[in-house]
Structure 1
Amino acid sequence: MEGPRLPPSATAPESDDDKPDDPPSVWHRPTSSLPSLPSQDPPSHHWRNNSLNLSPLPTTTLSSLPPPDTIPELETYVVRVPRDQVYWTPPPEHAKYVEKRRKNPEKNKKKGCSKRLMWFFIILVVFGFILGAITIILHFAFNPTLPIFAVERLTAKSSNFEVMLRAENPTSNMGVRYVMKKDGVVSLTYKNKRLGSGKFPGLSQAAFGSDKVNVKLDGSTKNAAVQPRGSKQPLVMILTMELKAEYEAGPVKRNKDVAVTCDVKVKGLLDGKKVEIVSENCESEFKN
């Protein structure tokens, strides 16, 4: 706002040349020219500084009022907040929870350890369950079947016997390899008397494989001379084998102990002629 107007001067303004060297003084309005205002209480303080005084004023003329104070300009600020940003104050129960954790650090540490142990136990149980399920599936998917043996020929010589066997692997998805057990033996007996004994040679078979194997037994027929020569009664002999079967299908392996017992009836064993096999029956059994 503009200041009070200067009183008109009777003389014309001085030119620049007539001005003295001293700086011009500030003009002051004489207080004697203002009319005296009626006494009044100061206006009550308003909550907003530098604002207009809205208190009632006595009815005076505008010319007798002092010039009003200048109103300061109000500054305006624009604050931009992203729409996806939310400002919120945590509820008081969160502060209580944090305070409890600060007061009981040992208790919180124990709770953390118990939670870790619980999760470790849960993971261990889940892992055991998965491992058990895989084991059961592999057991039923790769389950070895008992091998099948049959005696096809038997030859008696002066110091040994030769037995021709046929071995079959009925397992559809696993190959097998037959070896002798550490203390195993193949023996041929007649009336609980051993005629010969020996070792089973190694044999490998594929799934559904069928192969022949020749087994040599050291011994003689002297212990079988209990029947007169020329007798037409067949001799009943028993062939026993203790084998170890190693089944395999990729990474899956199974080891089984197999006991084989064959009942063989033959003719012509004591006459030194060609031995005739009247009947034979072999049975296999897993020992584990």
Structure 2
Amino acid sequence: MAERVHPAADSPPQSGQFSGNFSSGEFPRKPAPPPATYVIQVPKDQIYRVPPPENAHRLQLLSQKKAGRSRCRCCFCSILAAIFILAVLVGLSLGVLFLVFRPEAPKYSVEGFSVSGINLTSPSPISPKFNVTVRSRNGNGKIGIYYEKGSTVDVFYRDVDLCNGALPVFYQPAKNVTVVKTALSGSRIQLTSGMRKEMRHELRKKTMPFKLKIKAPVKIKFGSVKTWTITVKVNCDVTVDKLTAPSRIVSSQCSHDVDLW
């Protein structure tokens, strides 16, 4: 006769096998936790609400840092919004001024260019002098131009700055042509032997090239409103026939640029 094997009292029930008597209202008991395992029950109202005493100070510091970062973000966003609104207002104002006044850039040309003080037969330093006459035409019907202090006028041969000076301070009204004369001078400019030879060659052809550079701070007048300071840059390529006064301009071509800020 085969032996019947009874399961041990502490062995888990097999599949489909339950312990206890359901008919008597008894339910299976929860399995006991494995050895060395602890179950700690914490009241629900103490979870995430009341930190331990040793962490209370740290929680307060973290809360203060978070609030400070939030205030900084709000302040930064407010500054960006103010800058954006200001830029929009400035753009709209400039657009209105452009539509009303229809501004156009003034035109510049060189009317006179007298040279002296350049000796090409001696290796000694030179002290050149230039008398330059510049014609400025303001074709705007409602815009005046203030030429202010701080302008610079330079004459170059190749990359050598031969002399410098400044424009006079003046106001040019609308629909006006102004002719400005300025005297430029240089002191003890040393030319290389190769540069002297090149200048003598160009002088024999009566095509001595120079570059005139003007940088002038100006303010534009729209009606009764005057703008901030704007820098006008004029570059002219001037060719003369000789290095003595009076000299004749063989060719002249000017270009200009404007720095609004």
- State the TM bucket, normalised to the shorter chain: 0.5 to 0.7
Give the letter for the 2:111 counterpart. E
Q: Which has the higher contact order (CA 8 A, sep 6+)?
A: 2
Query: 1:207 & 1:148 partners in 2: Cα distance?
Result: 13
1:204 aligns with one of 171, 176, 179: 171
Deviation at 1:264, TM superposition (A): 0.5
Give the letter for the 1:245 counterpart. V
Pairwise CA RMSD: 2.8
Q: 1:134 to 1:188 in 2, by over 3 A?
A: closer
The yes-or-no answer on 1:283 pairing with 2:242 is no
Question: For the Cα contact (< 8 Å) 1:261–1:283, is it kept in 2?
Answer: yes
Deviation at 1:217, TM superposition (A): 0.6
Question: For the Cα contact (< 8 Å) 1:146–1:285, is it kept in 2?
Answer: no
The yes-or-no answer on 1:264 pairing with 2:238 is yes
For residues 18-45 of structure 1, what are the alpha-carbon distances to aligned partners after superposition, in whole Å with 9 as ceiling and x for unaligned? xxxxxxxxxxxxxxxxxxxxxxxxxxxx
- 1:253 alignment counterpart: 226
SS in 1 for 2:148: strand
Q: 1:235 to 1:273 in 2, by over 3 A?
A: same
Question: For the Cα contact (< 8 Å) 1:180–1:242, is it kept in 2?
Answer: no
Question: For the Cα contact (< 8 Å) 1:236–1:266, is it kept in 2?
Answer: yes
For residues 163-186 of structure 1, what are the alpha-carbon distances to aligned partners after superposition, in whole Å with 9 as ceiling and x for unaligned? 0111111222111111244xx521
Give the letter for the 1:250 counterpart. G
Question: Unaligned stretches of 5+ in structure 2?
Answer: 1-84, 118-127
Query: 1:281 & 1:135 partners in 2: Cα distance?
Result: 31
- 1:218 alignment counterpart: 185
Give the letter for the 2:100 counterpart. A
Give the letter for the 1:190 counterpart. Y
> Could you say which structure has the higher helix fraction?
2
Query: 1:176 & 1:148 partners in 2: Cα distance?
Result: 12
Q: 1:252 to 1:139 in 2, by over 3 A?
A: farther
Question: For the Cα contact (< 8 Å) 1:147–1:284, is it kept in 2?
Answer: no
The yes-or-no answer on 1:243 pairing with 2:216 is yes
Question: Unaligned stretches of 5+ in structure 1?
Answer: 1-127
Query: 1:186 & 1:134 partners in 2: Cα distance?
Result: 33
Whichever of the two has the greater Rg, that structure is 1
- 1:146 alignment counterpart: 105
Q: 1:152 to 1:252 in 2, by over 3 A?
A: same
Q: 1:199 to 1:273 in 2, by over 3 A?
A: closer
Question: For the Cα contact (< 8 Å) 2:112–2:134, is it kept in 1?
Answer: yes
Q: 1:222 to 1:166 in 2, by over 3 A?
A: farther
SS in 2 for 1:155: strand
Give matches, 1:109-124, under 5 Å: none
Query: 2:256 & 2:155 partners in 1: Cα distance?
Result: 16
- 1:170 alignment counterpart: 139
Query: 1:135 & 1:179 partners in 2: Cα distance?
Result: 22
Deviation at 1:141, TM superposition (A): 1.7
Deviation at 1:222, TM superposition (A): 7.0
SS in 1 for 2:96: helix
Question: For the Cα contact (< 8 Å) 1:242–1:259, is it kept in 2?
Answer: yes
Question: For the Cα contact (< 8 Å) 1:164–1:213, is it kept in 2?
Answer: yes
